[in-house]
Structure 1
Amino acid sequence: MTRVILEIEIDTQLYRLLKSSAENHHLSLEEECCRRLEAAERRSCYLQALLAELRAEDEQRRANSQ
């Protein structure tokens, strides 16, 4: 199996705000990103990229655990 590693650059302050908001809402970082993307009128390229990376990491984790 080929391992794919994605690297993205995101604003550190945005990441901290997302992480804090996720904790306050008792959500994972991925769930918080989805929540914000669903509620947003315009799409955030930062959130979409972070969500894609989180999903890829989760998929890789599941593949490695099988």
Structure 2
Amino acid sequence: MHRLVIEVDGQLLQLLEYEAKAHYLSLEGECLRRLQGAEAHSCYLQALLAELRADDEQRRASDRGELA
């Protein structure tokens, strides 16, 4: 299993914690629920997902020797 560590601002963390409680989920469960599209995507999570995808693509390109 891969582990992901992210930094979020305090306001977003409070929002995620509030929504997790409202849906009877853990903080991790709420993040997964949002990423899986169960709710309209938050602009914060969309930006995070785009950044993660770009980092992953850059890592793959580096592994293939495409970057100098």
TM-score (norm 2): 0.47
Largest Rg, 1 or 2: 2
TM-score (norm 1): 0.49
- Between 1 and 2, higher relative CO (CA 8 Å, sep ≥ 6) is seen in 1
Greater share of residues in helix: 1
